[in-house]
């Protein structure tokens, strides 16, 4: 069997796509369903670390229901995790784009950020970087 995707529901698909683009994911296809009044958008890492030059097979599916609803949140779902080549560069892009790094990579290895709907994304460095500023001194923000 094969893992295909994790589906999350999003209030503002374009805001969510912008967020994931900062991390390194891109839209790969989209399906609009007029009758069901929803849009499905699939994102994937532009290049899979395990298969250089190939788009990643693992996807995130964004479900956008056209009629607004409060999706709420629970603790049963934790996060999506990605390995990155340079966690400092990724977190800097996140900050530059105006998002919060909720758990900065003080240890050169692990960080948490959140989508516009508050879904936690774990970033894990491929290996470990030397601890470095401004990350070492950066406090946590909220929960993740």
Applying CB under 8 A, the residues found at the interface with a copy of itself are 1-9, 23-25, 45, 47-50, 56-58, 61, 63, 69, 71-85, 90, 117-119, 122, 124
Residue 50's contacts (CB-CB under 8 Å, 6 or more residues apart) are none
Residue with tokens 């995790």: 81
Q: Smallest distance, Å, CB 48 to a copy of itself?
A: 6
Inter-residue long-range contacts of 67-71, CB under 8 Å, 24+ positions, other chains counted: 67/37, 68/11, 71/9, 71/11, 71/117
The rounded Cα 133 to chain-centroid distance in angstroms is 23
CA 65, 69, 74, 80 torsion-angle sign: positive
Q: Smallest distance, Å, CB 55 to a copy of itself?
A: 11
Verify whether residue 61 is a known catalytic residue: no
User: Please, which residue, 4 or 31, has the CB nearer to a copy of itself?
Assistant: 4
User: Please, which residue, 60 or 133, has the CB nearer to a copy of itself?
Assistant: 60
Q: Smallest distance, Å, CB 132 to a copy of itself?
A: 20
Backbone angles phi, psi at 95, to 5 degrees: -65, -45
User: Please, which residue, 47 or 138, has the CB nearer to a copy of itself?
Assistant: 47
Check 21, 47, 61, 122 and give the catalytic one.
122
Catalytic residues: 122
């Amino acid at each position: 069997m094969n893992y295909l995707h994790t589906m999350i529901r999003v209030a503002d698909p374009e805001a969510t796509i912008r967020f994931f683009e900062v991390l390194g994911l891109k839209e790969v296809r989209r399906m609009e369903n007029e009758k069901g009044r929803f849009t499905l958008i699939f994102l994937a890492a532009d290049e899979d670390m395990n298969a250089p030059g190939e788009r990643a097979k693992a996807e995130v599916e964004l479900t956008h229901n056209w009629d607004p609803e409060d999706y709420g949140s629970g603790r049963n779902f934790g996060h999506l995790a990605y390995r990155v080549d340079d966690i400092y560069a990724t977190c800097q892009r996140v900050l530059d784009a105006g998002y919060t790094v909720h758990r900065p990579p003080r240890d050169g290895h692990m960080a948490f950020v959140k989508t516009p709907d508050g879904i936690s994304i774990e970033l894990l460095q491929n290996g470990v970087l030397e601890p470095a500023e401004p990350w070492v001194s950066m406090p946590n923000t909220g929960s993740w």
